[in-house]
């Protein structure tokens, strides 16, 4: 959730303060980067069964981390394509994420797992992570915040091994 909402929430500020775009241009660019997201869900839905949950989620964290790091690149020509690819990555992984429950847990505990994990994920992904990125943007730059978020995403790849059990 942090990978989807955090960049989206601060992208306009990043484009205006770090990249020098006008507010109109920043908002227009932000909206254009999100156009392909619905198609990424279809791609993710067709690849997840073929690759497996484990590989799909690892691929997501790796590619998403790379995109976020490149979003922090000093050259806008490097950062711009990364913005487009970063925007589709969360949509790409949702089908695999939704298949985790049936693959790894009995049906009777699905509601419990969702009720315990989703509030925490939403709190961190839509509240705490954007706040931290905003603080980094205020004190340093949003580009540095994107690089840090990208590194965290890359560090998540080895943690995905807990999903390997049934994938």
> What does the pLDDT look like over 52-109, one tens digit per residue?
888 888 899 999 999 999 999 999 999 999 999 998 888 888 888 888 777 778 888 8
Tokens of 13: 């500020």
Residue labelled with tokens 């960049």: 7
- Give 3-state DSSP helix, strand, coil % of the chain, rounded to 5: 85, 0, 15
| Nearest Cα residue to 149 out of 65, 55, 45, 23 | 65
Element (H, E) at 133: helix 129-139
């Amino acid at each position: 959730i942090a990978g989807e909402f955090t960049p989206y929430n601060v992208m306009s500020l990043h484009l205006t303060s770090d990249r020098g775009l006008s507010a109109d241009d920043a908002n227009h660019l932000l909206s254009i980067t999100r156009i392909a997201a619905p198609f990424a869900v279809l791609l993710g839905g067709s690849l997840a069964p073929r690759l497996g949950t484990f590989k799909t989620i690892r691929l997501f964290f790796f590619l998403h981390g790379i995109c976020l790091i490149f979003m922090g690149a000093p050259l806008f020509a490097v950062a711009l394509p990364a913005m487009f690819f970063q925007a589709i990555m969360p949509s790409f992984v949702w089908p695999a994420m939704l298949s985790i429950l049936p693959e790894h847990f009995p049906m009777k505990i699905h509601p419990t797992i969702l009720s315990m994990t989703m509030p925490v994920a939403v709190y961190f992904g839509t509240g705490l992570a954007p706040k931290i990125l905003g603080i980094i943007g205020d004190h340093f730059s949003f580009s540095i915040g994107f690089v840090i978020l990208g590194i965290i995403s890359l560090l998540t790849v080895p943690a995905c091994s807990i999903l390997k059990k049934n994938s």
